[in-house]
Chain A
């Protein structure tokens, strides 16, 4: 065959045409949307069931679901963001919302509200948590609060009788000690929460400060962080919290956590996870608040945490908005979802759910009601780089847990590093 420039170009053109051809009618017939969420087995099962329902209602739209655990979720999301192939709809967290909005990765929803997206009856508070700079970027699909999940049976066996809503920082060590000695050391009182960013944040708020101020600078002091690590160091020394080997495995899968594996009687989570944790355990679990500081402001807060966001890369926006709308309004969907993603934002939905709840779900509603008067206001939005600050916190904390560095020195180093990170991210 004689190869000329023209014949080569011609061949390439023909090739391109043939590959493009079949795609055209396929696109017209099938509409597809991708939904990406972080999950656990229980949540994934529910979500796929919701997808089935949606596809039954809208046979012309194909929904493909992608899921992965929290630990890998943000890495995968960043990769997809970089590659320009984000799913049309992603699950978003308050902690990362501002970062993604400010990078331009999400689309505002305002123009669909009241038209295709029906959220007129939503509680204004939790809904506005999804706003950045006055625009709605994230639809609340569940509110949350921090919770100390405890093993009810272990508490009873050890004869622990404590008001877990009103207890204080001084009560926790005593409870841990009781449980550890009642089990002969086999079950420790609590996970070592030195590395738990969420708990540290509460500690700072109880001291009367936010971790970040409104300008995105670090407002927490060395003192705040040092005393936090010191507090857990003492529990560690007393041998009533989990061993250091367990603690330095940062964010282990749910099944290997202290409470589920039975290594400890308390682990820290978010309230919507109660359902998932109970599903993995035989012993009944209860929900406690993170202990308060006596005569000090409340540190815990209720945050909209499970958001659904429309991404920059979404193509079939109408289909995506229809899907979102079903998530917060369709009765069949709401039944399937239950409270697994947190407390829904719509009073109508909550009312509809009430009669069908399981014991654990009822308990989490009870917990939610009980804490209403014991929480502070939602912290201000977090600056760019907040994700990395948390990583740094966990890393420095594990150095403290391993005994490589004293709490006070580590705290100084951490505050310095954290400020450097947010400065650099600006």
Chain B
């Protein structure tokens, strides 16, 4: 015990602020929300116990819940791969050509810092509106674009583009991963005359697998939780015609617009379970495609 403490005490000291924050600030609300998810609670009068009522309603009667699931899953399925491919692409460019120029890394990272900001969401709404910059560019080459944001057929894609553009943080992690791949492997491949794309498939991807896995899990969780940009772009209600009814936006509306705090809590717990399931799935599947350096011996 004493040895354990002596060895790990510094670690726990570093964790202390987080642990304090968690136990003092987060744990209470989390338990409260679990309780509330079994009640009807309008924030003013006292909660009324309804058992599994909220969950039953959600799965059997609530059409908008399924719509929100549909929208969110579509988004995650498109945005996560799009962002990761973009991030890996840029990371490889930076790794090859501009190795010493850290300025570029900062510049490429910038959209990610701005990405969740309200200003960018508003900018996005302007860019993709009927007479926005995107359509003006298209008009120059003679294409009459739709009003991307207000057309339910295209509105979700504008969010995917926004997600792609915020490739900064996975890109930095990829970059670190790429730098860790021993150069001599590529040199050996060069000598053997292996084409570039084969090098990518046989050296880069396998050795990068742990990093890809890490990014995949993180970005998936992130994508499920997308909120502020959608909230602004969809005018807070999933407009047009619920095509941007992200799970989080629906949850927010139920809680803060329609005073159904109990139901919203139930929604939040279901989202937690969904995210947990996806993460578990990723970890289970990782056995088959992620190999770590120290597995080899």
A contact residues vs B (CB 8 Å cutoff): 71-72, 74-75, 78-79, 81-82, 103-105, 243, 245-246, 248-251, 312, 385, 387-388, 391, 395, 398-399, 402, 404
Contacts and interface: CB of A to CB of B under 8 A. Distances in A.
Contact of B44 (A75, A103, A249, A402): A103
B179 interface: no
B256 A79 contact: yes
A137 to B, nearest CB: 14
B241 A104 contact: no
A402 B152 contact: yes
Contacts of A398: 239-241
16 contacts: A72-B236, A78-B43, A78-B257, A79-B256, A82-B261, A103-B45, A245-B150, A246-B130, A246-B150, A250-B237, A385-B258, A391-B253, A395-B237, A395-B239, A398-B240, A404-B241
Contact of B239 (A79, A249, A387): A249
Contacts of B150: 245-246, 248-249
A312 B43 CA distance: 13
B259 interface: yes
B42 interface: yes
A392 to B, nearest CB: 9
Interface in B240-261: 240-242, 253, 255-259, 261
A395 B45 CA distance: 29
Nearest to A248: B240
A382 to B, nearest CB: 14
B151 interface: yes
B130 A248 contact: no
Among all A-B residue pairs, the 9 with the closest Cβ atoms: A245-B147, A103-B44, A248-B240, A82-B43, A245-B150, A78-B256, A398-B241, A388-B258, A399-B241
A81 B44 contact: yes
Interface in B101-157: 130, 146-147, 150-152
B259 to A, nearest CB: 6
Interface residues of B, number: 25
Contact of B235 (A79, A105, A249): A249
B interface: dominant SS: loop
Contacts of A243: 130
A78 B259 CA distance: 7
A395 B242 contact: yes
Contact of A75 (B152, B238, B256, B261): B256
B221 to A, nearest CB: 25
A47 B134 CA distance: 39
A interface: dominant SS: helix
Contacts of A404: 152, 241
A246 B129 CA distance: 10
Contacts of B130: 243, 245-246
A283 B222 CA distance: 49
Contacts of B44: 81, 103-105, 312
Nearest to A76: B256
Nearest to A79: B256
A81 B43 contact: yes
A81 B257 CA distance: 11
Contacts of A245: 130, 146-147, 150-151
A79 B258 CA distance: 11
Contacts of B242: 395
Contacts of B43: 78, 81-82, 103
Nearest to A312: B44
A389 to B, nearest CB: 10
B240 A75 contact: no
B257 A74 contact: yes
Nearest to A72: B236
Contacts of B257: 74-75, 78, 387-388, 391
